[in-house]
């Protein structure tokens, strides 16, 4: 046995000779001896960090000096305090070793339940967590209610645009009370004023007026047939819904090949004669058409009017008694307004829709257009069914050309025209206009 071993006390030899004393036991003993905190004592025994390029300082006996171990351990302790996982593991070991904290140090339960604040802070109780969640829900609900009140007018308009059914009923049940409260409190004014400043006045809620007698009256201007030239080209206005939005660019390109056409466009997706929610067409004539002074107006409208509508407390739709007479009055009112410009009007038939059973909507609206055209000499009904295929009662997305090739003329939604369909209809309309203005025909240019 060497001299160093002889100088050790029996207790010290028992503690260190086998090197198996647990880390937690060493911490407990260090704490009981009045030294550093349990974590600090254990860190000083277990961990020694040496800086890059440095050698650990050693005592004369060849052992690492106490000062070196203490300095390195303190550095390690600082890093460990930033780790919540390490704090949890240390506290668990202390608990297993039966550690009793000295006065001024946190207990094991505090460490285990604390968050990583450097002092083992307090964790929120379940009741506190519930209160915080409830507070967040209340704040969100208040914001949603205030937002709904500020936007009540728009919500009501959206509900009105739904087709008749449960969705519209539920939407109106929610939007109508909100709109009433918003109007009484004046909460709808800021948004309405901002919208009017950006987009102009909202559309009128009134439909086109229905005359007592159809057809022109004494105040209706005499329709004109414009004389056109390159210096004074034909002024064409395209008007309608989303079907016209697809057709207008193709038709315009065909007509302008003659060099004798200038044009303007007024279209609105989802617009109807039976509802001014998207666009009031009689108001639009005053705002747009009159200023342009069209010689010819090409119209594609009516598909959106196939949906059921509430009229004087009754639900009307194509095929139900009263719808055809009601729609005839609306179309006559729109033609009357258009005729104030003195223009020739070319109204295209609505293409057969995929969801229009047996073509009832299309056929009924066609009868309306034919009836009104009989009363207005400047209204020309243009049936496009022949060029996009189908037998008039059966929807067909394709047609077979003369060379036997199938061509897609309708889009997948069963409503709009595919590019080939737009091209065929544009050719037809160009031919119809060329009957009045032969210079527009490719052969006459």
DSSP secondary structure, 33-48, as one string: TT-S-HHHHHHHHH--
Lowest mean pLDDT, pick from 116-120, 221-225, 433-437: 116-120
Which two structure tokens, joined as six digits, stand for 379?
Answer: 């209204």
From CA 154, how far away is CA 170, in angstroms rounded?
15
Give residue 125's pLDDT.
79
pLDDT digits (tens, 9 = 90+) for 167-201: 767 877 787 788 788 878 887 777 767 766 665 55
Give residue 307's pLDDT.
80
Most confident of 60-64, 280-284, 290-294, 352-356: 290-294
Q: Please report which confidence band the pLDDT of residue 216 belongs to, taking 50, 70 and 90 as the band edges.
A: confident
Strand partners, 315: 310
What does the DSSP assignment read for 293-315?
--SEEEEE--GGGGS-EEETTEE
Which two structure tokens, joined as six digits, stand for 276?
Answer: 């001014």
CA neighbours closer than 13 Å in the CB half-sphere of residue 231 = 0
- Number of C-beta neighbours around residue 178 at 10 A: 20
The reply to whether the predicted model has a pTM over 0.85 is no
**Strands 406-408 and 398-400, sheet pairing:** antiparallel
Contact (CB, 8 A) for 356 and 392: no
Q: Please report which confidence band the pLDDT of residue 101 belongs to, taking 50, 70 and 90 as the band edges.
A: low
Contact (CB, 8 A) for 116 and 108: no
The single residue listed with the structure tokens 């067909």 is 396
Helices 38-46 and 66-80 meet at what angle, rounded to 10? Answer: 120
Residues of the chain with pLDDT > 90, as a percent, come to 31
Domains and CATH numbers, the chain: 21-47+62-122 (no CATH), 126-199 (no CATH), 234-444 (3.40.50.1110)
From CA 175, how far away is CA 149, in angstroms rounded?
9
Give residue 308's pLDDT.
78
pLDDT digits (tens, 9 = 90+) for 7-59: 444 444 444 444 456 666 666 666 555 544 444 444 444 444 444 444 444 44
Average pLDDT estimate for 98-120 = 53
Residues of the chain with pLDDT > 70, as a percent, come to 63
Return mean pLDDT, the chain.
76
Most confident of 142-146, 160-164, 212-216, 237-241: 237-241
pLDDT digits (tens, 9 = 90+) for 132-158: 888 899 899 888 888 877 777 777 767
Average pLDDT estimate for 277-286 = 85
406: left (phi over 0), alpha (psi -120 to 50) or beta: beta
Contact (CB, 8 A) for 279 and 271: yes
Give residue 4's pLDDT.
44
Res. 76: pLDDT tops 50: yes
Range 131-135, long-range pairs (CB < 8 A, 24+ positions): none
């Amino acid at each position: 046995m060497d001299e160093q071993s002889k100088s050790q006390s029996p207790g010290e030899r028992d503690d260190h000779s086998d090197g198996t004393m647990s880390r937690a036991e060493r911490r407990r003993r260090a704490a009981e001896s009045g030294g550093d905190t349990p974590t600090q004592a254990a860190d000083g025994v277990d961990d020694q960090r040496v800086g890059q390029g440095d050698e650990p300082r050693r005592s004369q006996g060849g052992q690492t000096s106490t000062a070196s171990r203490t300095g390195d351990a303190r550095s390690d302790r600082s890093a460990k305090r930033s780790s919540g996982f390490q704090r949890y593991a240390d506290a668990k070991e202390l608990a297993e070793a039966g550690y009793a904290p000295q006065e001024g140090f946190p207990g094991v339960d505090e460490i285990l339940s604390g968050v990583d604040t450097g002092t083992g802070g307090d964790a929120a109780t379940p009741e506190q967590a519930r209160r915080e969640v409830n507070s967040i829900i209340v704040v969100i609900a208040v914001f949603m209610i205030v937002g709904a009140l500020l936007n009540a007018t728009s919500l009501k308009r959206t509900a009105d645009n739904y087709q008749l059914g449960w969705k519209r009923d539920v939407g109106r049940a929610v939007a109508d009370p909100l709109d009433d409260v918003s109007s009484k409190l004046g909460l709808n004014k800021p948004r309405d004023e901002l919208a009017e400043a950006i987009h102009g006045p909202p559309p009128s809620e009134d439909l086109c007026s229905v005359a007592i007698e159809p057809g022109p009256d004494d105040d209706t201007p005499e329709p004109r047939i414009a004389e056109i030239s390159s210096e004074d080209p034909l002024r064409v206005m395209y008007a309608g819904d989303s079907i016209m939005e697809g057709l207008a660019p193709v038709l315009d390109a065909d007509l302008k090949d003659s060099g004798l056409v200038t044009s303007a466009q007024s279209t609105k997706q989802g617009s109807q004669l039976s509802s001014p929610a998207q666009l009031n067409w009689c108001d639009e004539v005053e705002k747009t058409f009159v200023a342009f002074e069209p010689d010819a107006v090409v119209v594609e409208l009516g598909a959106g009017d196939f949906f059921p509508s509430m009229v004087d407390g009754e639900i009307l739709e194509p095929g139900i008694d009263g719808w055809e007479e009601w729609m005839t009055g609306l179309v006559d009112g729109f033609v009357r307004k258009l005729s104030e410009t003195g223009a020739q009007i070319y109204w295209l038939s609505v293409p057969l829709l995929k969801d229009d059973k047996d073509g009832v909507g299309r056929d009924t609206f066609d009868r309306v257009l034919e009836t009104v055209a009989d009363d207005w000499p400047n209204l020309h009904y243009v049936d496009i069914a022949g060029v996009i295929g189908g037998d008039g009662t059966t929807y067909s997305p394709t047609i077979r050309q003369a060379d036997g090739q199938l061509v897609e003329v309708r889009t997948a939604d069963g409503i709009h025209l595919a590019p080939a369909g737009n091209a065929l209809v544009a050719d037809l309309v160009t031919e119809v206009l060329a009957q009045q203005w032969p210079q527009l025909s490719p052969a006459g240019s």
